[in-house]
Structure 1
């Protein structure tokens, strides 16, 4: 499936994100067995966070950035993700959280982003976060200035790549000493799985 021209895609997303979302039905397509094996459910310590899914046109194609997290002592070390992070007390809402975190992590300018809407909020058991995906757009390719403490690399993903169904695979990985089945997207030499893959699944359902 070829993507729509950029203005048509943006108009489609702007309209579609105001309609009922596929939510869990789409999420389940790429959900790992860790979600049930870890046995973690939302509780009084669950925190709120947001990520930014940011479309922009470049060289007659449509792109969006993912980030590669550095290796550190944490559950999401070395993983591919959308830029984002936890909500701060000074944030007006989760949309501001997504924009602020994206500016801090990859150097995009908040004032250049047009927000189109939101996908379904998603619970992430390993880190005990609810994450709100916010969808936005830029009129052109930005200059990226990744924060080396938060980002090992910015990976610019062509929407054509995400629309290619042959990038979907399945693997077994170890999470907190437990072996889990993890569907993934093979993107630019990386395996994108977990919550990020589930968000991509809903995004693709909305686009298609």
Structure 2
């Protein structure tokens, strides 16, 4: 797939996307660092916004007061609850709770491979198309900021960087996609790599 990705081409790509069964995860760049034990199900929404100038992706910056991953860039989402009707329901519920966008404004167009984190979460990335106008009300206890990034930035694979840090006396590698003052990395960046692979399949894949 080449050229401009618009809403229709997004729908077509996600319709054809088939989970490969192996899943994605932090272990993609760190063989041997797979999570052990029970995986806790979770889901995030990858919100694609139809702006007049083209598609954008919507992100949140987590509150600096949160005990886990404070200040990090993420998609709206969280762990599944027993009353949720599948991953899409989890992602839509969490999106409304975190940024105040009601599900009536979101067209679910598909989902990506499961993403497994080293902390034991099995995340289903759900792709949703948002058509303005819609109101946003960030939950102050969880969300510090909401911002958007043009989709073409992520479609350019030269922006898919690989960084490393020491963790538990081991060097851990991860994807990073710095954009201005925003440092998009870790699981969020890993899911974005998967998203781009769906939209722009590699000829050698």
Q: Paired residue for 1:19?
A: 16
| Partners of 2:73 and 2:53 in 1: CA distance | 25
The 8 Å contact of residues 31 and 183 in structure 1, kept in 2 or not, is answered as no
Q: What is the CA RMSD across the aligned residues, in angstroms?
A: 2.7
CA offset digits 1:56-112 (Å, max 9, x no partner): 2224221121111223332x3322111100111111111100001011111111111
Q: Which ranges in structure 1 are unaligned for 5 or more consecutive residues?
A: none
| Partners of 1:177 and 1:68 in 2: CA distance | 28
Shift of residue 32, structure 1, vs aligned partner: 4.2
Which has the higher relative contact order, 1 or 2, with Cα contacts under 8 A spaced 6 or more apart? 1
Q: Find 1:73's aligned residue among 51, 67, 74.
A: 67
- Residues 26/92 of structure 1: CA separation in 2 closer, same or farther (3 Å cut): closer
| Partners of 2:183 and 2:165 in 1: CA distance | 11
Normalising by structure 1, report the TM-score: 0.82
Instruction: Confirm whether residue 109 of structure 1 aligns to residue 105 of structure 2.
Output: no
Q: Find 2:196's aligned residue among 183, 187, 204.
A: 204
Q: Paired residue for 1:99?
A: 92
Q: Find 2:7's aligned residue among 3, 6, 10.
A: 10
